[in-house]
Amino acid sequence: MGDTTNLGQCGDIGCNNPCQSDSTNTAQCESLPSQIQNFTDQFFGTVVKTEINGEVQWSLPCGLDVGLQGNPRGVDEGLACYFLRLFSDGIGGLVGPKGCPGDAGKNGNNAYSIITQAFTQPSLTSPLVQFVILPNPAILAGLYVFVQNSGYYLVTSVDVTGVVFATLVSPKAGAYPTIPIGSLVVPTGPPGA
């Protein structure tokens, strides 16, 4: 077995003895108890050992025994599993006091409008048209609209007074020669084939 002058408690010699716990610990040859104590101190801080009714209890610093408020550590949940759960699920914030109610919002607009001046039905050979609607921010340039009794249009521009410039894309079969006041104008997608 060789030289036994350095024989330790666990039966190994010198630095190969993991249970060595004498004053010869060095950075190159540190005993297992010293390594465990150093890791514990660095990772957890001061851990308090107490005995309650003959049973050893360990108290972790920073409330790690119970976990974060609003994100408690489960009963018998290992600390590593607790950390993994927090990292995976995220840490839920605490609910604070109810804030003051905000200002009431503005009433919304209808997504449709109506014709306010009659206009002559255009054709596919002469598709450009101008008509007037009740101003509505839902009717925008670049949008397709369907005009009741007339057909589908691509809006090219709209001014703030409700004048719409548009191009007829698909007339309605049996479209009226004159589109009357009150006809609906509804935003749509492009007309189908």
- Is residue 152, in this structure, part of any structural domain at all? yes
Same-domain check for residues 80 and 120: no
Reported as a pLDDT band with limits 50, 70 and 90, residue 14 is low
Residue type, 130: Q
Domain that holds residue 19: 1-43
Same-domain check for residues 20 and 62: no
- Is residue 29, in this structure, part of any structural domain at all? yes
Let me know: does 156 contact 166? Beta carbons within 8 Å.
yes
pLDDT digits (tens, 9 = 90+) for 137-158: 999 999 999 999 999 999 999 9
Same-domain check for residues 49 and 37: no
Same-domain check for residues 84 and 126: no
pLDDT digits (tens, 9 = 90+) for 23-62: 667 777 777 777 888 887 777 777 888 888 888 887 777 7
- Is residue 95, in this structure, part of any structural domain at all? no
- Is residue 181, in this structure, part of any structural domain at all? yes
Same-domain check for residues 79 and 128: no
Could you give the percent of the chain with pLDDT greater than 70? 87
| Residue 140: CATH number of its domain | 2.40.30
Q: What is the DSSP string of the chain?
A: ----TTB-TTS-BGGG-TT--STT--SSS--HHHHHHHHHHHHH---EEEEETTEEEEE-GGGTTTEETTEEPPTT--HHHHHHHHHHH-PPPPP-------PPPPPPPPS-EEBSS-EE---SSS-EEEEEB---TTS-TT-EEEETTTEEEEEEEE-TTSEEEEEEEEEPTT--SEEPTT-EEEEE-PPP-
Across 35-39, 86-90, 129-133, 188-192, least confident range? 35-39
- Is residue 105, in this structure, part of any structural domain at all? no
Task: Give the alpha-carbon dihedral of 171, 172, 178, 184, to 10 degrees.
Answer: -110
Same-domain check for residues 20 and 77: no
Same-domain check for residues 76 and 38: no
Residue corresponding to tokens 């002058």: 5
pLDDT mean across residues, the chain: 83
How many separate domains does the chain show? 3
- Is residue 101, in this structure, part of any structural domain at all? no
Mark which of 90, 122, 148 sits at the end of a domain: 90
Residue 190 tokens, joined: 């492009």
Same-domain check for residues 75 and 135: no
Residue 25 tokens, joined: 């610990």
Same-domain check for residues 76 and 28: no
